[in-house]
Structure 1
Amino acid sequence: MAPYQIQKYQENYRKWVVGLFSKVMTEHLPITFHHILKLPRNLVLLLWGPLALFLVSGSWVLAFMASLALPAALRFLAKYHWIQFEVMSLHTDMSDITKSYFSESGSCFWVVESEGQVVGMVGALPVKKPTLWNEQLQLLHLRVALEHRGQGISKALVRTVRVAWHQGYSEVVLSTSMLQYSALALYQRLGFWMMGFFFSTSYRLGVVPAIQFIYRLPFAQVSQALEQGGGL
């Protein structure tokens, strides 16, 4: 196992960070495509669509072309969802990481360096909700290169974000896809609780929804217990 170190982002890491972000994103395509294929309405469409087209048109050629085009369309749908997320991220918070993640208390972006390469990353930004009683920090863009997984890097990055309670935040929140099974297991092992599901605008087209998680930082748990018990 190659040694690694976690440190704050610097601009000379940008090429590595963007490359890792895009590379890990493509890993979600196969499992998302398989998920979409297995949805009941899509199975019906794949099985009966070409047959219905043949019955209407009487052309086996059209039916055969439809049997090829439908899976291709579903694969494009799976790919489009992740491309849309990648493009949005690269044009918002990740367009200028220094400006987005180093401009206010609690926000930060960390990278994992191993043998001169960036092999992992994670960001944290305050959740801007004026009516929120508890100050929340959002964990974003947790990524670890495939060849460096299984070394505890993801766990170390999440724990790095949780140290944010020193900055006065009481909760860490995040969202992840239902199909990212290893990520779901990791967050639950580290004490995160599932809040519910988040349905994006593309959910109706078959893309899997995201799950929202929350972790209550230690000092917030103590404060809540004191409030419930009437204080000291």
Structure 2
Amino acid sequence: MANIQIRKYKDEDAEHVQEIFILGMSEHLPASFMHILKQPLTQMVLMCTFCAFLTSSKSFLLPILAVTLLLAGARQMVVYLLNKYIETCLRKDLRNISETYLGQKDSCFWVAESDGQVVGTVACLPSKNETGCLELKRMSVHLSYRRLGIAKALCQTVANFTRDRGYTAVVLHTSVVQTDAQKLYEHMGYKRISESAAPEFAAKIFNFNLIVYRLDLQQN
């Protein structure tokens, strides 16, 4: 992992951090759309629509057009939900990282820097749901700098920080479509402890679940 430095966030990093987060989240659009297409409800609606239009029109053109419009609408719904999530994250903490992560006890935000350029991010703060744990958040690595061990180093940074602060474990949340992230966390020793539907109504309908992982730490 040559020329990579992990350091605490500085205010001048804000634009680069937001860019990495937005690009990273946008990458999940195709996987999210495919996840929706695989759901029984989606397939039933598409099939019923096709059959209904085929029966009424006696032509393949109209049902194909109707299904195509439904697929386009589904994709736009995914885009809307993804953009809404991004905007919520920016508003809640990524537009004021210093106050959220550096101004509170047992919280921190780090960036991975390569030749003066911010290429990765990670943060942690006390978990609201798991007593005695810190929660890993905002893990993202720029697409051009993956497979270099940066994500592992960022995960280890959080684990070391958590142990040094006397906490017993790290927890994190990821989505069912983030399969690469799941593989990384499991490789780092995280155990899946629960899976449940996201709070949004559309997410519940399409089984867009959130997965909770936990890494128990050995205290020195």
Q: TM-score, normalised by structure 1?
A: 0.86
**Residue 13 of structure 2: aligned partner:** 13
Q: What is the aligned-residue RMSD (CA, Å)?
A: 2.0
**Residue 167 of structure 2: aligned partner:** 169
Shift in Å, 1:2: 5.2
Question: Secondary structure of 1:109's match?
Answer: strand
Mapped to 1, the partners of 2:211 and 2:79 lie a distance apart of 20
The amino acid of 2:172's aligned partner reads L
Alignment of 1:67 onto 2:67: yes
Mapped to 2, the partners of 1:57 and 1:38 lie a distance apart of 27
Mapped to 2, the partners of 1:170 and 1:94 lie a distance apart of 26
Matched-pair identity in %: 35
From 150, 155, 165, the counterpart of 1:153: 150
When structure 1 is superposed on structure 2, of 110-119 and 71-80 the one drifting more is 71-80
Q: Deviations over 1:120-166 (max 9, x none)?
A: 0001011235xx6x411010010001111100000000000001211
Is the Cα contact below 8 Å between 1:143 and 1:154 reproduced in 2? Answer: yes
**Residue 188 of structure 1: aligned partner:** 186
Q: Deviations over 1:175-216 (max 9, x none)?
A: 111222221111112111111103112323315211100111
Is the Cα contact below 8 Å between 1:124 and 1:138 reproduced in 2? Answer: yes
Q: TM-score, normalised by structure 2?
A: 0.90
**Residue 144 of structure 1: aligned partner:** 141
Structure 1 residues 196-211: aligned runs within 5 Å: 196-200=194-198, 201=200, 202-206=202-206, 208-211=208-211
Q: Which runs of 5+ in 2 are unaligned?
A: none
Question: Secondary structure of 1:16's match?
Answer: helix
Shift in Å, 1:54: 4.5
Structure 1 residues 15-164: aligned runs within 5 Å: 15-56=15-56, 63-128=63-128, 134-163=131-160, 164=162
Mapped to 1, the partners of 2:70 and 2:207 lie a distance apart of 16
Mapped to 2, the partners of 1:165 and 1:105 lie a distance apart of 14
Q: Deviations over 1:35-86 (max 9, x none)?
A: 1112122122223313313435778775344122111111122223322221
Is the Cα contact below 8 Å between 2:175 and 2:210 reproduced in 1? Answer: yes
**Which is higher, the Rg of structure 1 or of structure 2?**
1
**Residue 227 of structure 1: aligned partner:** none
Q: Which runs of 5+ in 1 are unaligned?
A: 223-232
Aligned residues: 217
